[in-house]
Amino acid sequence: MFPERLRKLRKKHGLTMKALGKSINVAESTISGYENGNRKPDMDTLQQLADYFAVSTDYLLGRTKEPHPYPRSKHDHYLYSEGMTVEEIEFLRESLSTFRKFRGKT
């Protein structure tokens, strides 16, 4: 189940194996091994993948069908339902923070 879930999430977020590997500090070949079932992530890497995609480790491991059982906030749940990626949500958070800092200085 893990290989399929990882591949699905990676593709849903428009990532190559290389890009995902770079984001979590593993080689492209490691991501390939995870997706073809030849390798299994250690606990730290599994958690990094769950955090990166904002899903539970239980979802990645196939223990639940619900990918987002615990959104970070009530607003994150809305953003996920709109189909935004984790990267897009983080970009919006950072942009809002910058906007607020700039607005406070003028």
Q: What ranges do the domains of the chain cover? A: 2-60, 74-105
What integer pLDDT is reported at residue 84 of this predicted model? 67
The number of beta carbons lying within 10 Å of the beta carbon of residue 50 is 19
pLDDT at 5 over 90: yes
Where does 2-60 sit in CATH, by number? 1.10.260.40
Q: Which amino acid is at 103?
A: R
Mean of the per-residue pLDDT values of the chain: 83
The number of beta carbons lying within 10 Å of the beta carbon of residue 86 is 19
pLDDT in tens, 62-94: 988 877 665 555 555 555 545 666 677 778 878
Residue 92, token pair as written in the block: 């919006």
